[in-house]
Amino acid sequence: MSTRRMNEAGRRLLILLALIVVLSSGARSLLAQTRAGFVLYEKYCATCHGTAANGGKLPDELKMRQMTSESIYEALTKPPHTTLPPSDEVKKRIAGHLGERKVGVAQIADARLMLNQCPVNPPLGNLSSTPIWNGWGVDLTNGRFQPAKEADLGADQVPRLKLKWAFGFPGVEEVYGQPTVAAGRVFLGVDTGAVYSLDAATGCVYWSFQADASVRTAISIKPIKKPESTTYGIYFGDLKANVYMLDAATGKQIWKVKVDEHPIARITGAPTLYQDRLYVPVSSLEERAAGISTVYPCCTFRGSVLALDANTGSMLWKTYVIPDAPKPTRKTSKGIQQWGPAGGSVWSAPTIDPEHHAVYIGTGDSYNEPAYKTTDSIMALDMNTGKVLWSEQDTENDAWLSGCEGSKLSENCPKNIGPDFDFGSSPILRTLADGHRILACGQKSGMVWGHDPDREGAVVWKTQLVEKLALGMITFGGAADDQNAYFGLRTGGVAAVHLGNGAKKWFTPLTGPTTPGSAEDTGVPAATGETAAITAIPGVVFSGGWDGMLRALSTDDGHVLWDYNTAHEFDTVNHVPAKGGSMGAPGATVAGGMVFVGSGYVFGAGTPGNVLLAFAVQ
């Protein structure tokens, strides 16, 4: 490398490190995932910006959520906000909470500032010529099972996995996008709203793209046939309910579509790609905003699934979980108008059944009473029209809002608070040895349901995997081979369930080190449990834990084959300071003999992290 290029590289590194220090100082977590953002808004902003309090003269919370973090922060630095909120740190917390992205983070997320840019950017080859993990569930069934040929990693090799490289994400606290592996590249989105394309073998960076808000969905890729050539497009959503298509080779935006106009709508589940259609699930933050707030006009959001033309982004159909539009109901003691019905978020990637032209989804709880009959349900939609084919409700009367369990309750809270037994994970479609088919559906309660998709979702079996049903037991879902489904549990452990009859085959309790969030570091106990999505290859399941441990277990009996503690600092290939933390949402992905996993997840009790790890057999 010439002296000039070395000086330029050094300059970029100094700029990047300086910006990271500036933006990372202060608050432990600035993002909207945590309860702190809601509490701070209620404390410092609601008096003036509450819907009834301002008489429409000032923007309320819903209007401010349509602004960027930077514009909100700028307003907070000018009169009359110079002393309230009281500090610059709190101003940035509130701005990041409302804008769904850290203030100023785009300055440091740009891959052009990094020192390990790939020397060349060759065209992407045929996707079928190299191993691939595409989208959330690796295939349309959302089984999260990578076949032997694509995995290129045997159960006997897993104990020899070693860290090959680590990549640090500037300004990131939660690596809650899931790595997609295709054409020798890794595509991943993070909480800063940055999406990166990396070389799978070395971790060098090809490009980055800055979305409008945090990106927590897996990314899907498909060829785009043009008269002169074949290029590839990638697809994902962000936390402002935008769906994007980018050129996979360059990161250039091809189209962007806002799929829901509700100010708190978001895309948390990955859009599922099939042929020339993109099936998009829509969820929201309303169940958190309304439960904590005394001025929020609860509730108007309805979960939905929609189909987009993958080439143009145009909407083909949209189906709401709750078909009835919200109407005014009553007013609170502060004069805030209430609405209903609302709820039914679709948190996870739709499962596609081309043979029967169906889209299967799991739905969330209701936000008000009475709970609608399609909440906490498994539903089937016609993939061509969006028409509801059938719906089977597994938990009735589940009207729930966050923050409604204490003594100081918002008037938005349901009188009879439900258990919050959403389906937060995708139904897994499997064909049994006798030809019958099953949808294995993990519910947040800790119950796994077996639904028959060919008998209008009739319940074939149900299996309780925890001693006492409680919220958050199964969150981001399991994996399945041709015999069993495997689920991680918030209580700590992984269980195997027979697909044919629901019998529990084995359970392995898992406890780990107290490094992430340990009392020595933060004064609070370490977070534990296995809520991240499970990943399977022949003979092995991978599970990431809130304790920062990535483990591989035998599918035969659940014994641990290999483990790795991600909760420490890493030397990274891009020279960005990085450390691992909790793993509580996306799972590992496996392709071409390598295992990829992001480390860092907060959501209240977890430990931040900003690293992507790549493992290979040595």
For 344, the domain range is 3-30+100-617
Burial of 289-319, coded b for 16+ CB within 10 Å and e otherwise, reads: bbbbbbbbbbbbbbbbbbbbebbebeeebeb
Whether 95 is covered by a domain: the verdict is: no
Residue 186 has pLDDT above 50, yes or no: yes
Q: Does the reported pTM lie above 0.85?
A: yes
CATH number of the domain that residue 170 is part of: 2.140.10.10
Q: Mean pLDDT over all residues of the chain?
A: 90
In a domain, 59, yes or no: no
CA distance 244 to 223: 15
Percent of the chain with pLDDT over 70: 90
Among 71-80, 301-310, 416-425, 468-477, which stretch is predicted with the lowest mean pLDDT?
A: 71-80
- Identify whether 86 is part of a domain: no
Amino acid 56: pLDDT: 63
Task: Give the pLDDT confidence score for residue 246 in this predicted structure.
Answer: 98
Establish if 45 belongs to a structural domain: no
Q: How many domains does the structure of the chain reveal? A: 1
Q: What mean pLDDT comes out for the span 256-279? A: 97
Is residue 32 over pLDDT 60?
Answer: no
- The whole-number average pLDDT for the span 62-76 is 80
- Mean pLDDT on 332-339: 94
pLDDT in tens, 527-577: 789 999 999 999 999 999 999 999 999 999 999 999 999 999 999 999 999
> Considering the domain boundaries, does residue 73 fall inside one?
no
In a domain, 69, yes or no: no
Q: Please report the pLDDT score of residue 335 as a whole number.
A: 92
Binned at pLDDT 50, 70 and 90, residue 12 comes out as low
Q: How far apart are CA 536 and CA 440, in angstroms?
A: 15
With respect to residue 50, please indicate whether it lies within any of the assigned structural domains. no
pLDDT of 362: 98
Helix (H, G, I), strand (E, B) or coil at 510: coil
284: pLDDT strictly greater than 80: yes
Q: Supply the pLDDT for residue 54.
A: 58
3-state secondary structure 530-578: CCCCCEEECCEEEEECCCCEEEEEECCCCCEEEEEECCCEECCCCCCCE
Q: What are phi and psi of 91, to 5 degrees?
A: -60, -45
Please state the rounded mean pLDDT for residues 289-297.
90
Is residue 419 a contact partner of residue 400, using CB atoms and an 8 Å limit?
yes
Residues 6+ apart with CB under 8 A from 409: 403
> pLDDT digits over 450-494, tens only?
999 999 999 999 999 999 999 899 999 999 999 999 999 999 999
What's phi and psi for 579, nearest 5 deg? -145, 160
Q: What is the pLDDT of residue 55?
A: 62
Helix (H, G, I), strand (E, B) or coil at 55: coil
Q: How far is CA 391 from the centre of its chain?
A: 25
Mean pLDDT over residues 512-530, rounded? 54
pLDDT on residue 81:
81
